[in-house]
Amino acid sequence: MPFDVAAQVIANTRLSADYNILALSAPAIAAVAAPGQFVMVKAAPSCDPLLRRPFSVFEVLRDAAGVPSGLSLLNKRIGASTNLLYRADRGDTVDCFGPLGKPFTLVDRSAQAWMVAGGVGLAPFATLAQALRARSVPTTLFYGARSAAELFHLDFFRELNVELVLTTEDGSLGERGRVITPLDRRLAAHVPHAPLMVYACGPEGMLAACAKTAARYGQPCEVSVERIMGCGMGGCYSCVVPMRNEHGGFHNIRSCMAGPVLPADQIMWD
C-alpha cells in the first residue's frame, strides 16, 4: 500500500554538475520500501512540469535510534523535473508517492550476488547491497560510468564488504570501456553450477547486453527497467515492456506493476 507524503528536503548533496542525492523526510515510505521499489516524485506543485517522475529508492535514511525516517534519491539532470530536483533546497517540499512496484528477489547466502550498474542505474543497489549484507550474501558491484568523477558512493559499498569492479569510458578509474566486459569475463570463469544471481540497472542497451551475457552462461538475471511513467499505478499503460508469452508471442506488461524489476530472460529485447 503506497503512501503520498509531502516530503521535506533534508539535504541536497550535489555530486557533480549533473548528479545529486536528494534526502527526503518520508518515514511512512521508508518504513516499508524494499530494494528495487520506486517512488513517484512531483518536483513542483505547478502544472509545468505536470507529471511525477519515477525514482528508485536510493537509500533508506534512519534516525539515531535506527528507525526509518526518510529516503534519498540519486538524481541525474535530464529534463525539467530532474533539473528542479537538482536545484532543490533544504526545507523545500516535494510530493513523494510510494513505495511502488515489485522489488528484487533476494538470494540467500548459498548464492553469490552480482550487481551490474550503469551510470544513474546505481540507484537501486545501495538498499539491495544492505539487504544482501544482512543475509551474508557475497556481493560484487560491477559499476560503469563515463569517468571517475561519475562513480559515486564507492565507500558506502566498500563498508558493506561489496567487491567493486569499476569501469569508465575514459579509463580514468578502473577498466577502460563498458561494464559488460568484466562481467562477461567473470561469468566465463565462474563455476557453471555455483548459485549466482545477476541484478542489473542502467541504460537499455546495457541491460540488453547484460541479459544476453547472463543467459549465455545460463545464469539468472533480474533487471530494473526504466520507462517513462505517467502514474506508477497501472492506470495509464505508458510504461510497458514486451515480455515473451507461452505462445511464442509477447505481452506488454506494465513495468510499474509487474516491475520495475523483471526477469531478464522473459523480456523481448529487440
Partner 1 sequence: MDLSVRIGSLTLSNPLMAASGCFGYGVEYADLVDLSSLGAIVTKGLFLEAREGHPAPRIVETPAGMLNAIGLQGIGVRRFVEEKLPELRTRRATVIVNVCGTTIDEYVEVSRILSDAEGVAGIELNISCPNIKEGGIQFGCSLDGTFAVVSAVRKVTRLPIMPKLTPNVTDVASFARASEEAGADAVSLVNTFLAMVIDVETRRPKISNGLGGLSGPAIRPIAVRMVHECHETVKIPVVGMGGIMNARDALEFMIAGASAVQIGTANFVDPLIWPKLTDGIREYMHRHGVARVSELVGSVQTGPVESPAGA
Question: Which residues sit at the interface with partner 1, rule CB under 8 A?
Answer: 1-2, 4, 42, 47-52, 79-80, 95, 97, 227-228, 230-231, 233-242, 250-252, 257
CB of 2 to partner 1, least distance (A): 7
* The C-alpha cell that represents 270 in the structure block: 529487440
Q: How many CB atoms lie within 10 A of CB 237?
A: 11
Specify the amino acid at residue 40. Answer: M
Q: Residue 142: name the closest of 175, 191, 102 by CA.
A: 175
CB of 71 to partner 1, least distance (A): 19
Cβ distance to partner 1 smaller for residue 52 or 102:
52
Q: Which helix (H) or strand (E) holds 166?
A: strand 163-168
Cβ distance to partner 1 smaller for residue 111 or 233:
233
Cβ distance to partner 1 smaller for residue 3 or 217:
3
Cβ distance to partner 1 smaller for residue 155 or 270:
270
Q: Which helix (H) or strand (E) holds 125?
A: helix 125-134
CB of 5 to partner 1, least distance (A): 11
CB of 265 to partner 1, least distance (A): 20
Cα 256 from Cα 254, distance rounded (Å)? 5
Cα 42 from Cα 78, distance rounded (Å)? 15
